Amino acid sequence: MSDAIIDVHDLTIGYDQRIIMQNLNFTVKKGEAFCIMGGSGCGKSTLLKHLIGLFPPMKGDILLFGESIVTADEDAKRNLMRRFGVTYQGGALFGSMSVAENVMLPLAEYTGLSEAEQREVAEEKLKQVDLAGFGDYMPSELSGGMKKRAGLARALALDPQLLFFDEPSAGLDPITSAELDRLILRLRDQFGSTIVVVTHELDSVFTIAEHVIMLDKKARTIVAEGSPMELRDHSENDWVRQFLSRDGLKH
């Protein structure tokens, strides 16, 4: 598909010989807000780590921008990685570096900008996530929500076309979580970014997602795909409907 940013084909993922998920096939379109959902321990974050090239799959292929990140050589993989940003749980900031220095890391690695130019970009990215003036703070001086936004500023440093979020609302209170959801959508709309979010937080899913896939730990594959509201109201899978409507079905 010409508008596909991510194409996943017949993917099997796991560790050593243990299969976590298999027979995964899905597409993320340009400009889409896409969520990967499922119960705790089903393999959501493991799938994300494969999508960004941290782990090789056991089988299948992952195309980013039409190019395989699975078979890419080191130079090609580096070029692909420059085109997306990742925010990790908790922000994953380096505690010994200031907030601005954390944001500058991708600029130091992937660009030839001077330190002063890197600092200027970092300040702009912090402004975009409502952290203007916090560049000289240390991560330990930030609240949980601010750390998440600082991590997002770092993910935005190279102006990526694709943004990955790993459990962005984890550990946040409902108000801070809702603010972060709105920020994610604002950035998508402002910059035309494609958004992929790993989460099981339903409030975030219904706020952010246009399209979701649902992973099932027992089936070890995708058991539903579509808009979250359509799946909640019309899925033929009882577990999917109850998961999305918070009915608390044991599974």
Tell me what pLDDT residue 2 has: 57
Q: Do 10 and 59 touch, CB atoms closer than 8 A?
A: yes
Residue 151 domain-assigned (yes or no)? yes
3-state secondary structure of 200: coil
pLDDT per residue as tens digits for the range 84-101 = 999 987 668 999 999 999
In the chain, the amino acid numbered 104 is M
* CA–CA gap between residue 167 and residue 181 (Å, rounded): 11
Confidence of residue 149 (pLDDT cuts 50, 70, 90): very high
Flag whether 132 is in a domain: yes
Number of helices and strands in the chain (H, E): 9, 10
Q: Are 129 and 156 in contact, with CB atoms under 8 Å apart?
A: yes
Q: Pick from 45, 35, 32: which is nearest to 5 by CA?
A: 32
In a domain, 127, yes or no: yes
pLDDT reported for residue 250:
45
181 inside domain: no
Of 85, 118, 235, which Cα lies nearest the Cα of 245?
235
How many Cα atoms occupy the beta-carbon half-sphere of 232 within 13 Å?
Answer: 14
In a domain, 207, yes or no: no
Which residue carries 């890419």 as its tokens?
72
Give domain status of residue 145, yes or no. Answer: yes
* Confidence (pTM): 0.91
Locus of tokens 């990955």:
164
What is the residue type of 145?
A: G
| Total domains in the fold of the chain | 1
* 95 CB neighbour count, 10 Å cutoff: 8
Is residue 249 predicted with pLDDT exceeding 80? no
Whether 130 is in a domain gets the answer yes
Provide the residue range defining the domain that includes 133: 97-155
Residue 47: pLDDT over 70: yes
Select the more confidently predicted residue: 132 or 90: 132
Would 220 be classed as within a structural domain?
A: no
Query: Tens digits of per-residue pLDDT, 169-222?
Result: 888 888 989 999 999 999 889 888 999 999 988 999 999 999 999 999 999 999
